[in-house]
Amino acid sequence: MAANTQQRHGIPDTPFDVVSTYRRLLAEDPDLTMPVGAIEALILGLANTPASTVSETLDLVSKLTAQLKRSIPNPISLSAGTDLFQQYLISNLQRPSARGDFDHIRSHLVQNGRLFVERAKAARETIASFGRHFIRDGNTVLTNGGSRVVGALLRSAAESSNGNARGSIRFRVIYVVSPSSSSGSAEESESTANIAALREREIPVATIPPTAIAYCMDQVTQCFVGAEGVVENGGIVSRLGTLQMATLAKAAGKPFYVVSESHKFVRLYPLGQQDLGIEQNIVDFRTAKGSGSGTEAGQRKEVKDEGVADMEEGDAGVARTVGAACKPEEAVDYTPPHLISGIITESGVLLPSAVSEELIKIWF
């Protein structure tokens, strides 16, 4: 049966490679988020790797998780999914009903895990149905990045205007795009797809560079952004520039909403930009002699150039990278909770202060 499962998912009859499986899943399904892709890869690993006891199962998932976290420079979003799946396994294996034939229990866990993945995928449309009510006729929305859940929300709001008179404008969108949009990064291609989808629905979209956010803020009604991770204090980790947008929106008195699936809630409590547990090298001091001038940043740069990646495990379970730095287009920043008006999830709209309660429900 394991061989049939491997063939069905395109996995060869060799030792399971969770990293290549994870990357294949993301490549095959453009709508798949990193946490859900990680969970699905772990489920396939659990289904296709022999384990006869509870301890072996948990050890297997722990090792596969560590491999996934080491495979990418920024594992924050991925960690939300892997940690959630590990907690799901632990809570189910500790139940009294879990006593009995282990093969049956394991099969049940895999089946329920796949059901969880399907529900997580469906969360985007549920969020869109909640969030579209925040957009009214005549509003001007400011957004950035290639967030698929924000794109779904805006498309849902556009489609809800079908009952309006032909030619009427329900709302407008100002989209912040990077000047290097020609780089062909996945983030920029998703931004382009979101913009094209809105324009096809007769929603006027203007594109601006990040340096024009303050200039346009007086035209904006509200802001919507996605997130790579929603952290314990209600803040978010999102693409670089989100903090700037949130700060300017707060100064202008404009609502700043985060749109995120609850499976992106991550056990991380940053106090500032340097507490994310990842190496980004955004501020790279240089002299005429080169980069870093013997400073810690320069030493990390030299290690990177030598191709050495030293991975350490952070306190919150997020891999701390020393040698493998994020690419500029993959850089993120941390937006604190006092700048956020609300977090729109599939469970409803939460205040940032409610995130810790949601995490407590999941983990305890």
Measured in whole angstroms, how far is the alpha carbon of residue 313 from the centre of its chain? Answer: 20
**Which three-class secondary structure state does DSSP give residue 205?**
strand
**Which three-class secondary structure state does DSSP give residue 344?**
strand
Structure-token match 């892709």, residue found: 37
304's tokens: 């990177």
Residue 130 resides in a domain: no
Indicate if 255 and 284 belong to the same structural domain: no
Q: Are 173 and 141 in contact (CB under 8 A)?
A: yes
The pLDDT, as a whole number, for residue 96 is 56
Residue 224: what are its φ and ψ, rounded to 5°?
-130, 130
* 109 vs 145, residue with greater confidence: 145
Lowest mean pLDDT among 12-21, 148-157, 171-180, 255-264: 12-21
- Using alpha carbons only, give the angle 324, 325, 330 rounded to the nearest 5 degrees: 130
pLDDT, averaged across the chain: 79
Residue partners of 56: CB distance under 8 A and separation at least 6: none
* 261 vs 166, residue with greater confidence: 261
The pLDDT, as a whole number, for residue 337 is 95
pLDDT, one tens digit per residue, over 53-105 is 778 888 888 899 999 988 888 888 888 888 888 887 777 766 655 555 566 66
In angstroms, the Cα distances linking 269 to 197, 234, 288, 337 are: 36, 9, 38, 11
43's tokens: 């489920």
* 300 vs 117, residue with greater confidence: 117
How many other C-beta atoms lie within 10 A of the C-beta of residue 165? Answer: 6
Q: Which domain holds residue 68?
A: 2-122
Indicate if 236 and 353 belong to the same structural domain: yes
Indicate if 85 and 226 belong to the same structural domain: no
Indicate if 52 and 71 belong to the same structural domain: yes
Residue 308 resides in a domain: yes
Indicate if 166 and 256 belong to the same structural domain: yes
Give the chain's length: 364
In this model, does residue 336 exceed pLDDT 90? yes
Indicate if 155 and 96 belong to the same structural domain: no
**Residue 343, domain CATH:** 3.40.50.10470
Q: Are 289 and 282 in contact (CB under 8 A)?
A: no
Indicate if 61 and 189 belong to the same structural domain: no
Q: Give the end of a domain, one of 81, 98, 122.
A: 122
The pLDDT, as a whole number, for residue 81 is 85
108's tokens: 């049940």
Q: Are 203 and 135 in contact (CB under 8 A)?
A: no
Pairing assessment for the beta strands 319-321 and 332-335 based on DSSP bridges: unpaired
Residue 236 resides in a domain: yes
Q: Give the end of a domain, one of 101, 122, 143.
A: 122
pTM above 0.85, yes or no: no
Distance from C-alpha of 112 to C-alpha of 203, rounded to nearest angstrom: 40
The pLDDT, as a whole number, for residue 231 is 93
Indicate if 50 and 80 belong to the same structural domain: yes
Indicate if 338 and 298 belong to the same structural domain: no
Query: How sure is the predictor about 2, in pLDDT bands with cuts at 50, 70 and 90?
Result: very low
In this model, does residue 313 exceed pLDDT 60? no
What is the chain's alpha carbon radius of gyration, rounded to the nearest angstrom?
22
In this model, does residue 347 exceed pLDDT 70? yes
Indicate if 252 and 200 belong to the same structural domain: yes
Pairing assessment for the beta strands 311-313 and 290-291 based on DSSP bridges: unpaired
Query: How sure is the predictor about 173, in pLDDT bands with cuts at 50, 70 and 90?
Result: very high
Pairing assessment for the beta strands 256-259 and 222-225 based on DSSP bridges: parallel
Query: How sure is the predictor about 9, in pLDDT bands with cuts at 50, 70 and 90?
Result: very low
Lowest mean pLDDT among 6-20, 137-151, 234-248: 6-20
Sign of CA dihedral 18, 20, 22, 24: negative
Counting Cα atoms < 13 Å in the Cβ hemisphere of 215 gives 8
**Average confidence (pLDDT) over 344-349:** 90
pLDDT, one tens digit per residue, over 190-210 is 788 899 999 998 899 999 999
Q: Give the end of a domain, one of 69, 94, 122.
A: 122
DSSP one-letter code for 165: P
How many other C-beta atoms lie within 10 A of the C-beta of residue 196? Answer: 11
Residue 183 resides in a domain: yes
Distance from C-alpha of 237 to C-alpha of 93, rounded to nearest angstrom: 32
Query: How sure is the predictor about 235, in pLDDT bands with cuts at 50, 70 and 90?
Result: very high
Please, which residues bridge with residue 236 across strands? 230, 335
Lowest mean pLDDT among 152-166, 217-231, 268-282, 309-323: 309-323
The pLDDT, as a whole number, for residue 251 is 97
Residue 202 resides in a domain: yes
Q: Structural domain tally of the chain? A: 3
* 113 vs 228, residue with greater confidence: 228
Query: What percent of the chain clears pLDDT 70, i.e. is strictly above it?
Result: 74
Q: Which of 42, 53, 52, 54 is nearest to 16 (CA)?
A: 42
The pLDDT, as a whole number, for residue 237 is 94
Residue 127 resides in a domain: no
Indicate if 184 and 319 belong to the same structural domain: no
Counting Cα atoms < 13 Å in the Cβ hemisphere of 249 gives 25
Structure-token match 């957009």, residue found: 135
Indicate if 207 and 350 belong to the same structural domain: yes
Residue 98 resides in a domain: yes
Q: Which of 79, 27, 10 is nearest to 313 (CA)?
A: 79
Distance from C-alpha of 18 to C-alpha of 24, rounded to nearest angstrom: 10
**Residue 17, domain CATH:** 1.20.120
The pLDDT, as a whole number, for residue 144 is 92
Q: Side chain identity at 118, as an amino acid letter?
A: E
Residue 357 resides in a domain: yes
